[in-house]
Amino acid sequence: MQIDLFAAQFPVTLSLQDNLKQMRSMLEGLPPQSWVVFPEGSLSGYAYDLSFLKQLNAQNLRLALNELQGLAREKELYIWFGSLWNKDIRWYNMTFGLTPSGQRFTYRKVNLANVERGVITQGDTLSVHIVNTNQGEVPVGIQICRELRHPEQWRWLAVKGAQVFLHTAFAINDPGVLPVWRSHLVSRAAENQRFVVSVNSTGMSGQNSPTTVIAPNGRIIGELPPHVTDRLHVRLDLSLTDDVYVKQTRRELVKVTGN
């Protein structure tokens, strides 16, 4: 099975309407059945100072989500994006997946950044999402931003059958660490023999983590420059994923478990 995928990088702002307008624009002209991945917080906006949540209208977020679901159906696209989200008076850092058939997937970030703790509620589930396509099922694992520093989470998703890791990020405060974050992403791909698709916001001074797509052997398929608003087009051949390293884990010595 092959997937045409677009990693869509743009400068995430604190304006829901501006972000939605940019996302609409980047969905134009894509072939039906394509996958599109946007950054962390790409709908709601994101900032290291989360006080902006006091002005973020939860109803407007829901209306925007419904519009994107309609676009997924109309354009026959698989749309993945990040958003801060209010549910039951709690804020979560989430990634959403919307499909042409109406499937809706959600992941709540389980390992929060330091600036999020005490403001954002952590998720409690690491799930593999089974995406129905016209070619068959695609098992997807989702991680958000600094969770690239927690390889045990990625291994658990691989053990549960994920073939593609989607990683959304908003990390633009320390571009000097970009080589380190890239190396983390390469390791997550190679050690699990899975595709890694990572999409970050652009930033005035650069990015901590690149917008990049990495093959199961750890080789970088493509990467966007840090300052440009653009779509990176790649084709994922899922036959290249494997379980050799996952199956060779010494489970009598080290066991990765989860819920």
| CATH numbers and ranges of domains, the chain | 2-247 (3.60.110.10)
pLDDT of residue 203: 85
Dihedral-angle region of residue 215 (phi above 0 means left; psi in -120 to 50 means alpha; beta otherwise): beta
Take residue 117 and report the two structure tokens written for it.
């703790």
Contact indicator for 65, 43 with CB cutoff of 8 Å: yes
pLDDT of residue 259: 67
Question: Which segments within 111-210 are labelled E, that is strand?
Answer: 129-133, 136-144, 164-169, 195-200
Range 223-230 contact pairs with CB under 8 angstroms and sequence separation of 24 or more: 224/7, 224/9, 226/175, 226/178, 226/200, 226/202, 227/202, 227/203, 228/9, 228/202, 229/9, 229/10, 229/11, 229/22, 229/202, 230/8, 230/9
Q: What is the CA radius of gyration of the chain?
A: 17
Q: Look at residues 68, 69, 84, 80 and name the one whose alpha carbon lies nearest to residue 24.
A: 68
> Tell me, what DSSP letter sits at residue 174?
-
Instruction: List per-residue pLDDT tens for the chain, 259 residues long.
Output: 999 999 999 999 999 999 999 999 999 999 999 999 999 999 999 999 999 999 999 999 999 999 999 999 999 999 999 999 999 889 999 999 999 999 999 999 999 999 999 999 999 999 999 999 999 999 999 999 999 999 999 999 999 999 999 999 999 989 999 999 999 999 999 999 999 999 999 988 889 999 999 999 999 999 999 999 999 999 999 999 999 988 888 887 877 777 6
- Classify each residue of 222-241 as buried b or exposed e, where b means 16 or more C-beta atoms within 10 Å of its C-beta: eebebeeebbbebebebeeb
Neighbours of 172 (CB within 10 A): 22
Helix axes 178-192, 151-159, angle to 10 degrees: 30
Take residue 100 and report the two structure tokens written for it.
């042409």
User: Whose structure tokens read 């990683």?
Assistant: 167
Q: How far is CA 85 from the centre of its chain?
A: 15
Sign of torsion, CA 108 195 151 175?
A: negative
pLDDT of residue 76: 98
Q: Look at residues 70, 10, 60 and name the one whose alpha carbon lies nearest to residue 232.
A: 10
